[in-house]
Amino acid sequence: MSACENKGISRDACYIAEQNRQATINAAAEKQALENAQNLYSSDGTHSDHHHKHDKY
């Protein structure tokens, strides 16, 4: 944030820009994680062992 402020931009504007930057990074990471999970647990049967039922004793 100091690099932003050093350019003469207000602290408030730099703070908002930093919050937006972090939100964008988090959204991209979440999207990738969901895609990875979907690929891992896809319905092609290769990971069907992840969906087994436990017997009740």
Look up the domain containing 20 and give its range: 1-33
Cα separation of the two ends of the chain: 58
Residue 14 lies in a domain: yes
Residue 57 lies in a domain: no
> pLDDT band at residue 50, thresholds of 50, 70 and 90?
low
Count structural domains, the chain.
1
Q: Whole-angstrom Cα distance, residue 41 to residue 43?
A: 7
Residue 55 lies in a domain: no
**What pLDDT is recorded for position 43?**
64
Summarize pLDDT for 3-49 with one digit per residue, the tens.
999 999 999 999 999 999 999 999 999 999 999 999 988 866 555 55
Residue 46 lies in a domain: no
Q: Whole-angstrom Cα distance, residue 25 to residue 19?
A: 10
Residue 5 lies in a domain: yes
Judged against a pLDDT cut of 90, whether residue 52 lies above it is answered with no
